[in-house]
Amino acid sequence: DQQVKQNSPSLSVQEGRISILNCDYTNSMFDYFLWYKKYPAEGPTFLISISSIKDKNEDGRFTVFLNKSAKHLSLHIVPSQPGDSAVYFCAATQGGSEKLVFGKGTKLTVNP
């Protein structure tokens, strides 16, 4: 049973527009959420995170929104750039656990 779901395998947007990547989770005990970005032939790199006590966290062009009642989070990238083209993984953890539970990833393509 998948606890972290990224239902869109891929997303394509134009340069300069907004990219919105979605993530849903089923485990109500999750209290910390992270987004990782992965380029081909490289390991994932941490992008941004959010605690369940917040509903928004912003870092430059990247903003993560958390809707606890809907068990849903989203990553907004504004404006999107071609260098943002990568696979984005949503991950969740609970109670300071060492274990991260990852979604399957969404491949973002930003077209020039």
Partner 1 sequence: DADVTQTPRNRITKTGKRIMLECSQTKGHDRMYWYRQDPGLGLRLIYYSFDVKDINKGEISDGYSVSRQAQAKFSLSLESAIPNQTALYFCATSDFSPGTSGRAVNEQFFGPGTRLTVL
| Residues of this chain that bind partner 1 (CB under 8 A) | 4, 6, 9, 32, 34, 36, 41-46, 49, 51, 53-54, 57, 89, 93, 96-100, 102-105
Q: Specify the residue, 6 or 80, whose C-beta has the smaller distance to partner 1.
A: 6
- Tell the smallest beta-carbon distance from residue 65 to partner 1 (Å): 16
- Tell the smallest beta-carbon distance from residue 48 to partner 1 (Å): 10
- Tell the smallest beta-carbon distance from residue 112 to partner 1 (Å): 27
Q: Specify the residue, 18 or 29, whose C-beta has the smaller distance to partner 1.
A: 29
Q: Specify the residue, 68 or 79, whose C-beta has the smaller distance to partner 1.
A: 68
Render the burial of 21-36: b for 16+ CB within 10 Å, e for the rest. Answer: bbbbbeeeebbbbbbb
- Tell the smallest beta-carbon distance from residue 81 to partner 1 (Å): 22
Q: Specify the residue, 18 or 55, whose C-beta has the smaller distance to partner 1.
A: 55
DSSP per residue, the chain: --SEE---SEEEEETTS-EEEEEEE--TT--EEEEEEE-TTS--EEEEEEETT-SEEEETTEEEEEETTTTEEEEEESS--GGG-EEEEEEEE-TT-S--EE---EEEEEE-
